[in-house]
Amino acid sequence: MSDPVVIPVPPEWAARAYVDDVKYKAMHASALADPEAFWGVQGQRLDWIKPYTKVKDTSFNEADFHIRWYEDGALNVSANCIDRHLETRGDSVAIIWEGDDPNNSSQITYRELHAEVCRFANVLKKRGVGKGDRVTIYMPMIPEAAYAMLACTRIGAIHSVVFGGFSPESLANRIKDCDSKTVITADEGVRGGKIIPLKANVDAALEHASGVTSVIVVTRTGAGVSMQDGRDVVYEDEAATVSAECAPEPMSAEDPLFILYTSGSTGKPKGVLHTTGGYLVYAAMTHQYIFDYKDGEIFWCTADVGWVTGHTYIVYGPLANGATTLMFEGVPNYPTVSRFWEVIDKHKVNTFYTAPTAIRALMRDGEEPVKRTSRASLRLIGTVGEPINPEAWLWYYRTVGDSRCPVVDTWWQTETGASLIGNLPGATAMKPGSATRPFFGIKPALVDDKGEFLDGAASGNLVLLDSWPGQMRTVYGDHKRFFETYFRTYPGMYFTGDGCRRDEDGYYWITGRVDDVLNVSGHRIGTAEIESALVADTKVAEAAVVGYPHDIKGQGIYCYVTLKAGVTPSDDLKRELIQTVRREIGPTASPDIIQWAPGLPKTRSGKIMRRILRKIAENDVSNLGDTSTLADPSVVDDLVANRAGA
């Protein structure tokens, strides 16, 4: 049965876009038929210090597992994002910064960006940072975050950006994992009118991460913060002592570019490693085609630079293409729920890219806060991060986009570097809720749990059969974990961890994670991480965490907690446990529901039956499936009877 809502490509889009349906099919077919030739041409969009002669050398098979793109070429990312634009658009705006306070904004031209990044690079050098060193960046959404990232790429250092909402504990783990000796932070961050004590968090983190010898503190609020002699310096003081010229370091295409930690189904977050050439080719190319970016347009991605979306579509993709990228310090509902739309009008934004969770939250306030703004500059709107429900899609299309802006739904992951499945605005008829079709050269497939291919209209596990330039290359420091996590389950294929349906038109509908990873407000969180934070509390004996459908967040966090003998359950204790999780991981991991569980449903071999816990959390208790393999089936009756909110 075909889905009733199909929104055709507006004719003016088929005419204005780089790619219409005929061209999409031709380009996709040629990329699949001869990847070497296709990606060889695409690589030319960058400036190479040493041209590549090899394009693709990849194998997903265990015996000769390797992923290399453009491997004998050399280039510098910051030179591609800045220097090469100076002649033609040195005085064009590279970054528009919109502060948390609506009266606070600024513009940075490409020429200014060049000077700022060179200065930051020279400060890093002065502090002893060199090629291959890891630099942890823990910053608010201010231009200096982008300068710091680009400065690392200029000298060949590997940045690891840690989202400013993460706790000192999480920050410490990420610093230690990649053994970074340098941390870049700000005195404080400002978000939604609230202060975030970033430097104090760094100080707390460094009590557990003693390898850090240098902390560079950018001034955001000017609040007095404690500075440790010899270790900490004020960025502006250092910047005043160095030159605004710094030659870009030639890097091999396969040299590491950045590490970004992301949650998996087991263990600690993994350091996803991306490399220089392939990542930038793919980031720039997807930014051009998916958003149909044309010179002079203003592009706004609302993500934080602490996530991959911010890396690829605030910094690297737009700047590689010479675009004007908007960086927003604030939140969608401060000072009012019209903020996004006011910023669009203020800066004449052409492309707006946000997450379904933000759309659903703003939808609750109705049309009026949107309709009181003009949004006349908008031409395209996009979404990313989680499946978008058709209702939210249609509201976004009609209310925000006035039924005239195509909605692009982009499916991708930290691991994939940039979007892999998504509609092209001039080529793909839209179906609300579907990420639609693969990008050029991407080979998705669906398999059942045994790894058998499912043809035609089907539902299964989403895998990718061949490499693309933006693919991650390894888990930092643990290449074995890279293979085991993504290539072991279905031999010869990259397993995404997502479930997916393909309809009779070949459109892909992502249904969400099939592993123990939650997607809460578009943020990835491993259930294992939350469980280990809960059991860190001395009153807790055991914990099991699952997701459940949540109107705004997409998924909420449902925790079953077994207390130690003699501990009395109470609402105060629930609050204490929520605080523990926030302290250990960060506010994004806050439990929504805690249910006291005298026991957890386990198999006779001691394995927790999460399937049952998920059903109880979803309040789908009429059909719990086979419970006869449980060691003690009566625990299920107790959990059902005492279901939170039941």
Q: How far lies 389's CA from each of 261, 301, 395, 488, in Å?
A: 27, 20, 10, 32
CB 278 within 8 A of CB 469: yes
411 is annotated as contributing to ligand binding: yes
Whichever of 248 and 269 has its CB closer to ligand WTA, that residue is: 269
Residue 498 Cβ vs ligand WTA, minimum distance, rounded to whole Å: 5
By the criterion CB under 6 A, which residues form the site for ligand WTA?
262, 307-309, 384-387, 409-414, 435, 496-498, 510, 512-513, 519, 524
Residue 515 Cβ vs ligand WTA, minimum distance, rounded to whole Å: 9
Long-range contacts of 403-408 (CB under 8 A, 24+ apart): 404/10, 405/378, 405/379, 405/380, 405/381, 406/9, 406/10, 406/13, 406/380, 406/381, 406/430, 407/381, 407/382, 407/383, 407/432, 408/290, 408/291, 408/380, 408/381, 408/382, 408/383
535 is annotated as contributing to ligand binding: yes
Q: CA 173, CA 17: separation in Å to the nearest integer? A: 45
Residue 421 Cβ vs ligand WTA, minimum distance, rounded to whole Å: 8
Q: CA 227, CA 206: separation in Å to the nearest integer? A: 13
Q: Which of 582, 227, 439, 551 is nearest to 559 (CA)?
A: 582
Whichever of 13 and 412 has its CB closer to ligand WTA, that residue is: 412
Q: CA 289, CA 447: separation in Å to the nearest integer? A: 29
**Per-residue b or e along 225-248, where b marks 16 or more CB atoms closer than 10 Å to that residue's CB:** beeeeeebbebeebbeebeeebeb
Residue 416 Cβ vs ligand WTA, minimum distance, rounded to whole Å: 8
Q: Match 């090469």 to its residue by tokens.
A: 84
Q: Which of 355, 385, 361, 360 is nearest to 524 (CA)?
A: 385
213 is annotated as contributing to ligand binding: no
Whichever of 60 and 508 has its CB closer to ligand WTA, that residue is: 508
Whichever of 289 and 412 has its CB closer to ligand WTA, that residue is: 412
Residue 384 Cβ vs ligand WTA, minimum distance, rounded to whole Å: 5
State the sign of the Cα–Cα–Cα–Cα dihedral 453, 456, 461, 462: positive
386 is annotated as contributing to ligand binding: yes
The Cβ of residue 422 has, within 10 Å, a number of other Cβ atoms equal to 28
Residue 444 Cβ vs ligand WTA, minimum distance, rounded to whole Å: 13
Residue 525 Cβ vs ligand WTA, minimum distance, rounded to whole Å: 10
Residue 387 Cβ vs ligand WTA, minimum distance, rounded to whole Å: 4
Whichever of 28 and 523 has its CB closer to ligand WTA, that residue is: 523
Whichever of 506 and 625 has its CB closer to ligand WTA, that residue is: 506
Whichever of 319 and 510 has its CB closer to ligand WTA, that residue is: 510
540 is annotated as contributing to ligand binding: yes
193 is annotated as contributing to ligand binding: yes
Reading the block at residue 200, the tokens are: 């104090």
Residue 497 Cβ vs ligand WTA, minimum distance, rounded to whole Å: 6
Instruction: Name the DSSP class of 246.
Output: -
The Cβ of residue 552 has, within 10 Å, a number of other Cβ atoms equal to 15
Whichever of 420 and 578 has its CB closer to ligand WTA, that residue is: 420
Whichever of 274 and 513 has its CB closer to ligand WTA, that residue is: 513
Q: CA 468, CA 418: separation in Å to the nearest integer? A: 10
410 is annotated as contributing to ligand binding: yes
3-state secondary structure of 579: helix
Residue 250 Cβ vs ligand WTA, minimum distance, rounded to whole Å: 30
Whichever of 205 and 435 has its CB closer to ligand WTA, that residue is: 435
Residues 6 or more apart whose Cβ sits within 8 Å of residue 613: 544, 546, 558, 560, 600, 601, 639
Extended strands (E) in 493-600: 494-502, 508-513, 517-520, 523-526, 540-550, 554-563, 593-596
CB 494 within 8 A of CB 61: no
336 is annotated as contributing to ligand binding: no
3-state secondary structure of 567: coil
What single-letter amino acid sits at 118?
C
Instruction: Name the DSSP class of 50.
Output: B
513 is annotated as contributing to ligand binding: yes
Residue 48 Cβ vs ligand WTA, minimum distance, rounded to whole Å: 28
Residue 415 Cβ vs ligand WTA, minimum distance, rounded to whole Å: 7
Reading the block at residue 253, the tokens are: 């295409």
Whichever of 76 and 419 has its CB closer to ligand WTA, that residue is: 419
Secondary structure, 3-state, 465-500 = CCCCCCCCCEECCCHHHHHHHHCCCCCCCEEEEEEE
Whichever of 122 and 354 has its CB closer to ligand WTA, that residue is: 354
The Cβ of residue 614 has, within 10 Å, a number of other Cβ atoms equal to 15
521 is annotated as contributing to ligand binding: yes
194 is annotated as contributing to ligand binding: yes
89 is annotated as contributing to ligand binding: no
**Per-residue b or e along 395-405, where b marks 16 or more CB atoms closer than 10 Å to that residue's CB:** bbbebbbeeeb
Residue ranges of the binding site: 191-194, 309, 333, 385-387, 409-414, 498, 513, 521, 524, 535, 540, 582
Residue ranges of the binding site for ATP: 385-387, 409-414, 498, 513, 524
Residue ranges of the binding site for Mg(2+): 535, 540
Residue ranges of the binding site for CoA: 191-194, 309, 333, 521, 582
